[in-house]
């Protein structure tokens, strides 16, 4: 189940298809025609455990989690305009690029890749994104029509 909670001009995006936030932050925030996705790490959404299998498996799960948040926000990966990839080791850059290219296909958003000293839960990779979900005044529809989203407005 996914939900979008509106507060003032910001909407909080939340979905059970991605891991619950492990801190005081939202999975995503809509502001105007942009969706800001928090960093997604390679946790299995059901078990909240880090996936096994090395950096490629972790990159695949992190991007799967990102896709779930993007779709819960009413968009699709083809609307991503910018990603930031955080790597535990720049030695994993080529391996993560392979997974990233497979997931995004011909769509090549702007991207930064940064090596960091440590990531939450000691994972090897984390990915965040900025998405433009409105084009010419028409809201983008998720490519997965079975994705369910609900909206809640808080007064």
Q: What percent of the chain has pLDDT over 90?
A: 79
Report the pLDDT value the prediction gives residue 23, as an integer from 0 to 100. Answer: 96
What integer pLDDT is reported at residue 130 of this predicted model? 99
* Residue 155 confidence (pLDDT): 27
Q: Where are the domains of the chain?
A: 2-153
Q: DSSP letters of 30-91?
A: EETTEEEEEEE--B-TTT--BPSSHHHHHHHHHHHHHHHHHHHTT--GGGEEEEEEEES-GG
- Contact between 2 and 150 (Cβ < 8 Å): yes
113: three-class secondary structure by DSSP:
strand
The string of pLDDT tens digits covering residues 31-83 is: 999 999 999 999 999 999 999 999 999 999 999 999 999 999 999 999 999 99
| Torsion from C-alpha of 109, 114, 115, 119, nearest 10 degrees | -80
CATH architecture of 2-153: 2-Layer Sandwich (3.30)
Q: Quick one: pLDDT at residue 9?
A: 84
């Amino acid at each position: 189940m996914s939900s979008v909670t509106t507060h003032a001009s910001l909407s909080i995006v939340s979905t059970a298809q991605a891991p619950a936030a492990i801190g005081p932050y939202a999975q995503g925030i809509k502001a105007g025609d942009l969706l800001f996705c928090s960093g997604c790490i390679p946790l299995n959404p059901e078990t909240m455990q880090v996936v096994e299998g090395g950096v490629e498996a972790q990159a695949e799960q992190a991007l799967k989690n990102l896709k779930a948040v993007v779709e819960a926000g009413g968009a699709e990966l083809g609307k991503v305009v910018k990603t930031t990839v955080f790597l535990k080791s720049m030695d994993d850059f080529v391996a993560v690029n392979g997974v990233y290219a497979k997931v995004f296909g011909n769509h090549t958003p702007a991207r930064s890749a940064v090596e960091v000293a440590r990531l939450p839960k000691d994972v090897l990779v984390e990915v965040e994104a900025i998405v433009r979900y409105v084009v010419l005044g028409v809201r983008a529809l998720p490519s997965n029509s079975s994705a369910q989203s609900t909206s809640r407005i808080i007064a």
